[in-house]
Chains A and B, each alone.
Chain A
């Protein structure tokens, strides 16, 4: 089963929850960090790294001998990654989505592909090997998070519980991360910003048709807006995490939820079981 941990708003505690879920289990589990712009799970899981690989995407390579400067490729490209001014096209790799269209429309076969790096995948293990940790990290300056997320997802196995730590927001990187999830936990906080962004996240998972429930972090600090909304919309609040200064302090130095609030471990161990019952 794949459980994705998401939220519209950043900083609500996605990573804290995702890490707690894998730590609370006593079985072999996997943690996949799809927040590739700012991956933070490894700070808390401290995996022993076994392997690092690049994420490569293909961008067009123009053979100027064969190119007739017809400009068809540049007119076809929907992302303005090729520009031709009566010359062989200039390629802007950072805009390229690697769709292959330019090669298809080129009448002289002048386009082949070369690989450029957009990110890095780190594979490791934590907790004596019980937790497999996959992390995607976008190269600084690259704008293409989805290919890095797609590559992280290739390491997700069917036979173990996998927790995906999603990026914030509601656009392409989130959609890519949620793609194969069986269930989504939406982490929010009881503030107007938290509620506003929770509503966007709920719309997103509803559009994708994935079952979900809500975790309210720092539930005892703020207003009742999130609780009221969840009642109105018949959304289950599966866990409420109290606000503790010890939690903020533990988090600041790489500590996990159970370092600060040990009594929550049992509840987190139960979450996958509660979800399985609910989904069936």
Chain B
């Protein structure tokens, strides 16, 4: 079984639109949306949720105000400045600052701090017109996006095994931090979608360094390439220097927006040059996986 992950470094380069096209073109794949902060793939795939599961990860400190003696030891030991004073002079945990380290629970001299498990979101197993989709929703302002990403990937792998799918297509998050690392470690192949801008180039370089750091091979697509053909050529050279193969270009195409508004992937919406480019790119990706 192979797993490809579509990432970009910079946001808004077209990851999800292109992943949607791959989903439509793939024959025996399972799909996974690992952009758990701001998941959008479902808007192109109209999933029917078969099973929703709570995502419980880590714990959160909660001070019982009645038992708190306002000694301030927790505040002194908390390294995240997550403990504040109530108008009554007691201590209170700011849930958005708390990282769930349990230090306050340990140091409280009167054991006034509870440590309940943290409900951080939900993950879903769904059916779509292109096959099964595993996706998730991280609760607002929650921690542990990396662990939720790992859960989505693990469940997608379990389903792929069960349903005898030979490929997992993952829509990844932007950036190079914790959720991205959780999305790419151990994957078969990365598809980096970039755009011909200085920011796109800068961010692609960092993503390719990350790919190298975790020893995952990478291919590069330049989306909206005709906005700056010269920059596109420069990015492709840079990709090669970064150890990746450029595998294609897609022009700036308003049809992507139209398809998105219609809740469809571009390959269902149009038959223009962009679709031809994407189809060729997909064939190359498949060859690369063999």
Residues of A at the B interface (CB closer than 8 Å) are 8-12, 15, 36-38, 40, 43, 76, 78-79, 97-101, 104-105, 138, 140-145, 167-175, 191-193, 196-197, 200, 203-204, 207-208, 221-223, 245, 248-249, 251-254
Contact = CB atoms under 8 A, between A and B. Distances in A.
B177 A173 contact: yes
B122 interface: no
Interface centre among B9, B40, B200, B227 (most CB of A within 10 A): B40
Interface string B202-241: 1100100110011000000000100110010000000000
Given A38-B176, A143-B177, A197 B38 contact: yes
Contacts of B246: none
Nearest to A10: B11
Interface in B255-277: 257, 260-261, 263
Nearest to A105: B106
B65 interface: no
Contacts of B58: 78
Contact of B77 (A79, A104, A172): A104
B138 A170 contact: yes
Interface stretch (B97-105, B124-132, B279-287): B97-105
B146 A169 contact: no
Given A105-B106, A141-B213, A192-B261, 18 more contacts: A9-B11, A9-B40, A40-B203, A100-B77, A169-B37, A169-B174, A170-B38, A171-B143, A172-B145, A192-B40, A193-B16, A200-B38, A207-B140, A221-B254, A248-B227, A251-B199, A253-B197, A253-B198
Nearest to A148: B177
B38 A169 contact: yes
Contact of B38 (A9, A40, A98, A251): A9
B104 to A, nearest CB: 10
B79 interface: yes
7 contacts: A10-B38, A37-B174, A43-B202, A192-B260, A192-B263, A193-B16, A252-B200
Interface centre among B173, B174, B209, B213 (most CB of A within 10 A): B174
A223 B261 CA distance: 7
Interface in B158-176: 173-176
Nearest to A173: B177
Contact of A249 (B101, B107, B175, B228): B228
Contacts of A248: 224, 227, 252
B107 to A, nearest CB: 7
Given A9-B12, A38-B9, A197 B138 contact: no
Nearest to B181: A143
Contacts of B213: 140-141
Contacts of B206: 37-38, 140
B257 A143 contact: no
B142 A100 contact: no
B196 interface: yes
Interface in B24-46: 37-38, 40, 43
B69 interface: no
Given A191-B257, A197-B38, A253-B231, A145 B178 contact: yes
Given A37-B175, A38-B10, A38-B174, A97 B202 contact: no
A192 to B, nearest CB: 5
Contact of A15 (B199, B209, B261): B199
Contacts of A191: 257, 260-261
